[in-house]
Amino acid sequence: MSNYTHSQDIVTDVLFRNGEPTDGTSDFDAVAIQYVNRGYQIIWTGGAELDPSLNEKWLWLRKNPPGVLTLEPRIVNGTVSVTKGNTAITFSVAPDPAVQATVTGWFFRVDNSNGDIFRISTNTSGSTAATLDSRYTGTTATAASYRLFKLEYTLATDVLNVISPMRAYQSGRDEIEGMTIISLDRRWPLRTVPSHTLTSSG
């Protein structure tokens, strides 16, 4: 293996050892590279397919320099009009996220309400109108203070696994350790999230 430099070197060897032409005319030429790539994937995802007890985190797969995930600051501009039993809400000022175009997918809570938290299912860029993912359960209000916060982010396409703590650039926390969704929900229930200030970090 030490003499192999490219994937094609491995494919050539595989074909040769199986009595196949190595000049690209073999019926198995395209299939061989697929299996070689599959072998790579088995190794770099930890090797558990070869041995269930393996879960190796390959440090050579780390991105250099590290990727950046910018967190959206919470939005508390103006007020909101809400109606008990209705999914439609209206902001006095159109939400203006710092990174993305709309607040679709963000979480929403009215201050001094019964504590229920909703997800914004639809919102158009620059629009004061929005729709909740379920009917509003609090008291009807025409000018209530509120907060919007984003908790779910789409990672870059080159992210396979997060293999080390993420560095955070804000007061009170230097690193963010990874954990399962179940552990996250147990330690930080959704009802406790709005009490914290969400700020941008990069």
Whether residues 127 and 43 share a domain: the answer is: no
Whether residues 145 and 77 share a domain: the answer is: yes
Report pLDDT for 139.
92
Whether residues 96 and 160 share a domain: the answer is: yes
Domain that holds residue 187: 68-202
Report pLDDT for 106.
96
Whether residues 109 and 178 share a domain: the answer is: yes
Whether residues 33 and 91 share a domain: the answer is: no
Whether residues 80 and 170 share a domain: the answer is: yes
Whether residues 124 and 180 share a domain: the answer is: yes
Report pLDDT for 6.
84
Closest to 90 in 3D by CA, of 166, 141, 43, 39: 141
Whether residues 103 and 170 share a domain: the answer is: yes
Among the candidates 24, 39, 60, a domain finishes at: 60
* Residue 2 within any structural domain of the chain: no
Whether residues 38 and 94 share a domain: the answer is: no
Among the candidates 39, 60, 81, a domain finishes at: 60
Whether residues 120 and 140 share a domain: the answer is: yes
Report pLDDT for 202.
34
pTM, two decimals, is: 0.69
Q: Rounded distance, CA 62 to CA 41, Å?
A: 15
Band of the pLDDT at 171, cuts 50, 70, 90? Answer: low
Query: Residue 93: CB partners within 8 Å, gap ≥ 6?
Result: 77, 78, 128
Closest to 35 in 3D by CA, of 61, 15, 57: 15
Determine how β-strand 118-123 pairs with β-strand 173-176: unpaired
- Total count of domains within the chain: 2
